[in-house]
Chain A
């Protein structure tokens, strides 16, 4: 069965410092992995996705993530945090097992300090 674990429920960084949001997954098949961002009282927006092409994936707003099969990880990074990055971030996994389902992590709330 597929699952996703977001290792930190809250992360605080200072503006201009790097961001690291951690995600580990479990999947019996080759997974597709996604990061979504949700700003307060808004819907979810796709940041980036991995679907078995390049292991380093670049997304919107300067975010990127690296797929590491040996570590079953898909951590989200950004070199320099901006105040507008404050939001909740979700790691999502889906796989080719034919279930058509997407499994969500419980989310990481990112706080950016001035």
Chain B
């Protein structure tokens, strides 16, 4: 069982270049999330999706776009990369976004390390 898979794992970009990070999950989860992790700041939510064809902004959405055309995939795009977007990006998914049983846990990918020069 692969769980959550992120590609690529490493990438170096020049300022102004564009790229797409792909997240794929094979657990049939409805909810998917993109976070960025920076030293001393924990994980901050960029965008999330509560189902196929839906996306919503998190706390740090500027400079990023996302798409959820298929339930199993959640793409994060950088249209014009900036040095401030140098970070480690994590994708996560969950099976219970909202339930009387409480919220299900997040399942994480291994991360994608992006450097923008």
A contact set with B: CB distance below 8 Å: 9, 30, 32, 34, 36, 41-46, 49-52, 90, 92, 94-96, 98, 100-102, 104-107
Q: Contacts A44-B90, A44-B108, A106-B42 hold; do A100 and B102 have CB atoms under 8 A apart? A: no
List 14 A-B pairs, Cβ < 8 Å: A41-B111, A42-B111, A44-B43, A44-B108, A46-B105, A52-B102, A96-B100, A100-B31, A101-B58, A102-B33, A104-B42, A106-B40, A106-B42, A107-B42
Complex CA distance for A107 and B48, rounded to whole angstroms: 22
Contacts of A92 in B (CB 8 A): 106
Interface size for B (C-beta < 8 A) is: 28
Complex CA distance for A11 and B94, rounded to whole angstroms: 30
Complex CA distance for A106 and B41, rounded to whole angstroms: 5
Q: Is the CB of B110 within 8 A of A42?
A: yes
